[in-house]
Amino acid sequence: MTIRIMIDRKIHPARGGAPPRVLFDNLTLELADGEVCAIVGPSGIGKSSLLQIVAGLDTDFEGSITGLRQPVGYLFQTPRLLPWRTARRNLELALPDQPAKAGDWLRQIGLAGSEDVYPHQLSLGMARRVALARALAVEPKLLLLDEPFASLDDDTSREMQDLVASHVRRLRPTTLLVTHHWHEAALAHRAITLGGSPARIVEDRPLHEARAAE
């Protein structure tokens, strides 16, 4: 089912001395079933805010989001692991019926041997990989990835891009992928660029004509 994002108006309230800000004004976006859409744009334009609205975490806007499907896999910009659970036990939360699969996921993200490590003992890149595995492990119908390959060295970044690409090819979740780097958008069918204030879509283009038509 097509996801229709219609944000008539989104205002961020005043914060820390900054005045209220109209973030979005008449922003509409349609995502076809299984489409992978990259979102690019300058820092502070509203990419993370858009994901939070689509995820239903921010409902303080005028407009509507229709066609959403559960479950949603969401990789936030910060890992947001539960600090009192080990890496394995964080992953088990996403796998209530198959907790044994947590070990497979840790192997796939290169963290075999770190099962019993707590989040504060992980590097940021390691914690982000656990968070990525958690987002994929729920087998989401809607996958929201906020800069999934940040804080990773080049080799690990490529491995994680391959992991996401194979998962997306296999299960075809509708995907929004926020990134600052075009090469990280390689798995996307389409890229939208946000610009201006309030933010609007300044460019919307297919990335791989052949793949988009699959």
Ligand X SMILES: Nc1ncnc2c1ncn2[C@@H]1O[C@H](COP(=O)(O)OP(=O)(O)OP(=O)(O)O)[C@@H](O)[C@H]1O
The answer to whether the CB of 211 falls within 8 A of the CB of 189 is: yes
Q: Which structure tokens are listed for 182?
A: 């075009």
Contact characters 21-60, ligand X, x per CB under 6 A: --x-----------------x-xxxxxxx-----------
Size of interface with ligand X, in residues (CB under 6 A): 13
Check residue 120 for interaction with ligand X (CB under 6 A).
no
Residue type present at position 174? T
In the complex, the smallest distance separating the C-beta of residue 17 from ligand X, rounded to whole angstroms, is 12
Residue 45 or residue 145: which is nearer to ligand X going by CB?
A: 45
Spell out a b/e string for 50-61, using b for 16 or more CB atoms within 10 Å of the CB, else e: bbbbbbeeeeeb
Residue 46 or residue 73: which is nearer to ligand X going by CB?
A: 46
Residue 41 or residue 148: which is nearer to ligand X going by CB?
A: 41
In the complex, the smallest distance separating the C-beta of residue 152 from ligand X, rounded to whole angstroms, is 16
Q: Which structure tokens are listed for 72?
A: 């949603």
The answer to whether the CB of 104 falls within 8 A of the CB of 169 is: no
In the complex, the smallest distance separating the C-beta of residue 117 from ligand X, rounded to whole angstroms, is 27
Half-sphere exposure of 133 (CA within 13 A, CB side): 28
The answer to whether the CB of 198 falls within 8 A of the CB of 23 is: yes
Site for ligand X in 56-95 (CB under 6 A): 77
The answer to whether the CB of 3 falls within 8 A of the CB of 65 is: yes
Residue 41 or residue 119: which is nearer to ligand X going by CB?
A: 41
Check residue 151 for interaction with ligand X (CB under 6 A).
no
Q: Which residues bind ligand X (CB under 6 A)?
A: 12-13, 15, 23, 41, 43-49, 77
